[in-house]
Structures are given as C-alpha cells and as structure tokens.
C-alpha cells in the first residue's frame, strides 16, 4: 500500500544536486517492494526544482545520471559551461555583450542538448508523454514578465523548451532580448514569481503535499555589480519561497542542507565538488526523513476520499439507510465498557476573519464485556450545519499493547437527508473481553463546531453552544469524560464552560490538567471540564459573553 503525495520542489540553481539526492532516495524507497512507499501523483517545481522533478517523473535513473557528472561525463561538461570564471576580462566581455548585444552571460544551448538527450531516450516530447509513462502530472512554472504573473505550462507543451524557460535566470541565462524565440522575451525563471510553487497544486482529500526546500544560508554583503545582482536575485527568490512554504505543515517540508549557493556551479564538480563530497550524505539523510514521513502518514489515519452523505443516487441512499437499520437492530444492542472519553476541539472559527476550519478529536478507551464487539458506531448530529463536508475524517484503533487493528469504515444514514453523519467501523477481528482495553481515536474538521458562538462573536453579542456526548452502548456509564476546548488567546476571558442544566454536575479542569494533554496551538489557550461516573447523555454549555 502506498502513500499518495504531491511533490513541491523549490528552485535552487546549482543546488539541484541536493534535490537529485532527495529524489534518488525516493526512487530507492519505491524500488523496495517489502515496505510501504510514496506514490507521487503530481510534481510542481520552478527552475532547478522543475528540471529535477521532470527527470524523476520521466523515470530517469538518478543514480546513473549522477555518474554523468564525473570527469568526462555529459553532466560534467554541462556544469563546466556554467562555472563562474575568475577572469575579470571574461566578466568584462560578458557585460559588454549584455549591454551592447543584449546577450545573457551564458547560453542555455548546452542545457538544452543535455535535457533533450535524456528525454529523447525515454521518447518524451510533451508533458502528456510523461503522464503516459509514469502517471505523474508535472507542472512547470516560469515567470511571465508581460502579465506580471506565474506561467504554468500545459500538458501539450514541449518539455525541454518549458524547462529552459523555467530555469532562465535573468541576465545569466535570459536577457530582455533573445533572438529567434519570441517567448524568450516574455518568460524568465519561475523562481521570480514563486520559487516554492505550492499554490499551483490542487489537493485531493486523500493526497498529502510534500515540500522540498533548503536550509537558509547567510551570505556575504555584495561588493561588486556581479555579486550585487546575484544577491538581489537570490534574496527575491528566497523570500518568495519562504512565503509559500508556510502553506504546508512544517513537518511535511524537508529542508536540504546544501553547502553551496544558487550560482556556485563551479563547486558542483571535481574531486571536492558537491556531487562527490555531499551527495551520498544528503541522500542518506533524505531516506531517513522519508521513512519517518511514511511512518507518520501510515499511522492508520486514513482520510475519507468522498462525501457520501451528499449522495443523490436513491439506490445508494436506501442501502446506507438499510445498513444503519441492521446495525441498530443487532450490533447497537451489544453494550461494552467505556473507561474514558476525551473530547477536544480547537475553535479556529472564533478567530474572526480567518477561514481555517475547527479541529476535532475524540479518544475513547473501551473493552468488551459479555459479547464480542464487531462493529463500532460514530454518530454526529447536525453535521451539515457544522459544515462537516471537508472529507477530513480519520480513525485509528489500538489494542491493549498499542498495536494498530485493521478495520473497514462504511458511511450510513439513519434516514434520508437527516443531516446526521454516521460511520460504522467494522473490525477485521472481533474484540473479546479477554483482549483488554482498546483505544479508538477519531479526528475531523468542520467549518465550525460552534455556530451559536461564531455568529454572535462576529457582532459582539453573547452566545451559547454546547459540547455533548451520548454513549448509547455504554454498559454502565463512563468512568471519566473530559471536554477540552482551545480558543484564541484574545477570547480567553470571554468564553467559559458550565454544567448543562439537565446534566450530571462536573467541574472545571485546572490549567495543569488541561496542559497534560499535549501542546496548545500558538496564540491559543485551553480550558476544560471533567465529569466522572457519567450515565447517559452528558455535556457542557459553551458560553460567550
């Protein structure tokens, strides 16, 4: 079983060797059929990231490609063309050509020949050919200077031509005039617009985004026209990348530690070059991080891939309703022991003006009693009002030894268009009394879990909502129930928890008790309510004002 990801590759000029090391580590993991691997569904990149990502998607053997950068190899000759000369006379001549002939410092012709040779061997001309070969969508970015925006090439576009535009660093590989190619007057390096082009991807519910960036480096103050231009371009692309990186979870971005900067092509080759000295270590480190990434994402928390509660097909609706009736008539009558229940909500929706959804987590510790437990039911009332249509549900079940148990999840309805979201969890192996205490965790997101507060907070009025549990299959109540609510720090003194008038009494949790349940989101504070010996429906009022 694979974990689906979309790759976002930052541009980096000479640092392309580090991106190649990461991608080769990914190729090695994919080749090991004994372990779960990462299935890349899409790649987006600018400049060097676009080139490396395209070669990966074209199934170029990156181990063999690296060998080409040894002495007398095609890659070695290519890098020599772009290596910075220390001759002041060379720089003077290049500058004169730029001003008088409007010619860039370096020609892209050697890079064009190199890429064409690699891709011709795979019979690749367009991005559609790559899609056909590897089933990977490749999105390459350039910067359109006429429209002042990012330009994304189409499936039908020529791959080599597109990559040359994406890597056309102004002045170095592209000037304001290039003869014989009208597009060259419009398109330059994609890193100018977005050097970490995460926004170019649309994220399906069952796919993760994995970013590859670089550790930020401190550089010397520019002391010449050349170093000033280099620093100006490098800074612009670095800031562009850092702004985009924030759109991904920090744990899903791998930062490569390259010892060379964007324009230090001369340090790539030779006995002490980066390909010889650093490549293997970077590949090893990337492989370790990728295996940790796989372990995190395969932690039995499989996201929903569809929203079945909006189903219009009447046959499907009747089947879902019928399955619920069978469950309610038979399995729902089998009671089991509830040892504890933890109900946690991060109320992002109370941050006025922000579109981030609320986060919800429920953890139940339970054990079988008289009869084996084969099916578990999760029901959420009024879920349509909450906006639970983001397809972010995730479940895991652990046995008494903290081993994951296999299961299948089916969505059902208690009646057509009821608005209630119900999941039936079918266990691969039934749970018997002798099996000890199990843990089930359920995570979800919604536009808001507190519509009664959000509308009032927007206009500065008091409001009230609730947090309620109703364990219908509890044999003799619940030993302990805890409600945890994380709210924006600015609203800490405005939001309170209190016993519902018709519920058993509980009490406020101390700050120490609240903090015992892990880190609190930045700029948020946590409040809590606890009850013991809970029988039947129980909850708290959440009050604003």
Residues with Cβ within 8 Å of 19's Cβ and at least 6 positions away in sequence, in order, are 9, 10, 12, 48, 49, 52, 53, 212, 256
Annotated active-site residue in 137, 189, 234, 358: 189
C-alpha span between 545 and 538 (Å, rounded): 23
d(CA 41, CA 55): 15
Q: Are 153 and 197 in contact (CB under 8 A)?
A: no
Helix axes 48-57, 127-134, angle to 10 degrees: 40
Q: Which residue has the tokens 């809590």?
A: 528
Specify the 3-state DSSP secondary structure of 369.
Answer: coil
Q: Is the backbone of residue 446 left (phi > 0), alpha (psi -120 to 50) or beta?
A: beta
Active site residue 455: no
SS (H, E, C) 72-138: CCHHHHHHHHHCCCCCHHHHHHHHHHHHHHCCCCCCCHHHHHHHHHHHHCCCCCEHHHHHHHHCCEE
CA pair distance 530, 345, nearest whole angstrom: 15
What's the distance, CA 509 to chain centroid?
A: 34
Catalytic annotation present for 189: yes
Measured distance CA(76)–CA(69) in Å, rounded? 4
402: three-class secondary structure by DSSP: coil
Query: CA-CA distance, 122 to 187, in Å (whole number)?
Result: 27
Q: How far is CA 75 from CA 71, 82, 88, 113, 343, in A?
A: 9, 11, 26, 11, 57
Strands 2-9 and 208-214, by their bridges, are: parallel
For residue 211, give the H/E element and its range.
strand 208-214
Catalytic residue among 42, 46, 47, 383: 47
What are the catalytic residues? 47, 189
């Amino acid at each position: 079983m694979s974990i689906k990801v979309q790759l976002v590759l930052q541009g980096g000029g000479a640092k392309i060797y580090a991106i190649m090391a990461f991608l080769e580590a990914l190729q090695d993991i994919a080749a090991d059929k004994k372990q779960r691997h990462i299935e890349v569904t899409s790649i987006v990149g600018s400049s060097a990231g676009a080139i490396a990502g395209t070669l990966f998607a074209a199934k170029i053997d990156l181990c063999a490609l690296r060998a080409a950068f040894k002495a007398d190899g095609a890659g070695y000759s290519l890098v020599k063309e772009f290596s910075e000369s220390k001759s002041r006379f060379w720089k003077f001549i290049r500058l004169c050509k730029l001003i008088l002939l409007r010619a860039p410092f370096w020609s892209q012709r050697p890079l064009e020949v190199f890429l064409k040779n690699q891709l011709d061997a795979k019979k690749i001309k367009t991005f559609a050919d790559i899609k056909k070969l590897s089933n990977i969508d490749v999105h390459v970015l350039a910067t359109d200077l006429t429209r002042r925006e990012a330009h994304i090439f189409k499936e039908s576009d020529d791959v080599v031509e597109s990559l040359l535009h994406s890597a056309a660093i102004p002045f170095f590989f592209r000037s304001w005039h290039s003869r014989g190619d009208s597009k060259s007057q419009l398109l330059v390096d994609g890193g100018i617009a977005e050097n970490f082009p995460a926004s170019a991807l649309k994220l399906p519910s069952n796919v993760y985004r994995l970013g590859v960036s670089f550790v930020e480096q401190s550089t010397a103050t520019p002391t010449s026209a050349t170093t000033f231009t280099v620093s100006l371009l490098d800074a612009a692309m670095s800031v562009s990348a850092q702004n985009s990186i924030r759109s991904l979870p920090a744990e899903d971005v791998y930062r490569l530690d390259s010892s060379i900067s964007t324009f230090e092509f001369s340090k790539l080759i030779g006995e002490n070059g980066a390909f010889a000295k650093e490549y293997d270590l970077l590949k090893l480190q990337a492989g370790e991080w990728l295996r940790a990434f796989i372990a995190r994402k395969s932690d039995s928390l499989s996201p929903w891939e569809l929203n079945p509660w909006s189903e219009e097909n009447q046959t499907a609706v009747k089947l879902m309703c019928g399955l619920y009736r069978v469950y309610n008539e038979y399995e729902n009558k089998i009671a089991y022991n509830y040892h504890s229940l933890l109900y946690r909500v991060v109320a992002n929706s109370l941050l006025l003006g922000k579109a981030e959804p609320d986060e919800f987590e429920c953890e139940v510790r339970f054990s079988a009693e008289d009869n084996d437990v084969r099916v578990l039911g999760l029901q959420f009332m009024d879920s349509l009002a909450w906006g639970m249509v983001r397809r972010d549900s995730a479940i895991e079940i652990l046995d008494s030894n903290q081993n994951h148990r296999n299961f299948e999840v089916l969505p059902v309805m208690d009646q057509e268009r009821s608005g209630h979201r119900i999941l039936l969890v079918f266990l691969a192996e039934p749970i018997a009394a002798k099996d000890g205490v199990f843990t089930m965790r359920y995570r979800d997101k919604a536009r808001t879990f507190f519509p009664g507060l959000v509308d009032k907070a927007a206009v500065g009025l008091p409001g009230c909502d609730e947090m309620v549990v109703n364990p219908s299959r509890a044999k003799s109540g619940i030993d302990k129930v805890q409600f945890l609510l994380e709210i924006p720090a600015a609203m800490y003194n405005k939001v309170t928890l209190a016993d519902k008038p018709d519920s058993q009494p509980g009490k406020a949790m101390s700050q120490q008790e609240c903090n015992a349940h892990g880190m609190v989101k930045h700029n948020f504070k946590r409040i809590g309510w606890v009850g013991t010996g809970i029988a039947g429906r129980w909850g708290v009022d959440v009050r604003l004002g």
